[in-house]
Every structure is written in structure tokens, then in C-alpha cells.
Amino acid sequence: MKKVVKTEDEWKALLDEGTFHITRKKGTERAFTGKYYDSTEEGEYNCRCCGAPLFSSETKYNSGSGWPSFFKPVDDQIIGEETDKTLGMSRVEIVCNQCDAHLGHVFPDGPEPTGLRYCVNSASLQFEPKQDD
């Protein structure tokens, strides 16, 4: 995997203000407001910043949390984990390993087979619909 490295000014020029805030400054969108939280379309969810494939619609499910939720990434190597101790709690932040974009958090309350819930901000994602063969 080739690391994508840009300056803050370069990211600001590429991303709208809301996406920059979420992906580069570790912000979050309000529950039930993101573009993809209730999407059921088939396809792939890529990183909004660098285009890396992150999640498949095949692993997306309705967690009731108000954010797009997945039980596993496309590739275990593409998602990085960091400890997040903001807001008076300890959580596991997830980032794109290719460009370090903040994606959301992962929780141990998801469905089988992984038992994980990757709770992702829609602003961190770019959806690529499945192409009919």
C-alpha cells in the first residue's frame, strides 16, 4: 500500500469544509444525517480522501446507531486503530491506513461472524455502485 501524504493546505483544497473537519480533524456528523446511513444500494465504500476500498455493501447492516455500520472491512490491512479518549470515554478510532483519514470508531457489539461494528461517518466515504455485468 502506497501511503498518501498531503499538507493540511492540500487537503483543504481537495475537500469541502465538512469533510475536511471530519476526516482530517477527527470530527463527526450527527446521527441519522449522513448520506449513507440508511443506504441499501450494492457496491463499495471507498475512502473519501484517497479512494482506498474500505467496506463492501455486503458487510453493511442497520445497527440503529444512525451511522453507516459494517461488520468487517474489505481488507484488514486498510483500517488502522487508535485509542480515542475524547468526550470522557475510551473508544477505538478507525482510520484509513493509506491516508490517515478519520473514519469513525469500531465497537465490539456487531453481528457475527466478527462481532464488530465499524461505525463510519458518511463524509469519510465515497460510494461506488456495483456495476452490472
Tens-place pLDDT, residues 41-96 = 999 999 999 999 999 999 999 999 999 999 999 998 999 999 988 878 889 999 99
CATH architecture, domain defined by 8-129:
Beta Complex (2.170)
Q: At CA 44, angle to CA 111 and CA 2, rounded to 5? A: 105
Cell for 86? Answer: 475524547
Tens-place pLDDT, residues 7-42 = 999 999 999 999 999 999 999 999 999 999 999 999
Q: Return d(Cα 40, Cα 30) in angstroms, integer.
A: 20
Q: The pTM is what? A: 0.94
**Domain locations in the chain as residue ranges:** 8-129
Instruction: Give, in order, the Cα–Cα distances in Å from 103 to each of 20, 61, 72, 91, 133.
Output: 12, 17, 14, 13, 30
**Where in the sequence numbering do the catalytic residues fall?**
119
The residue behind cell 450527527 is 30
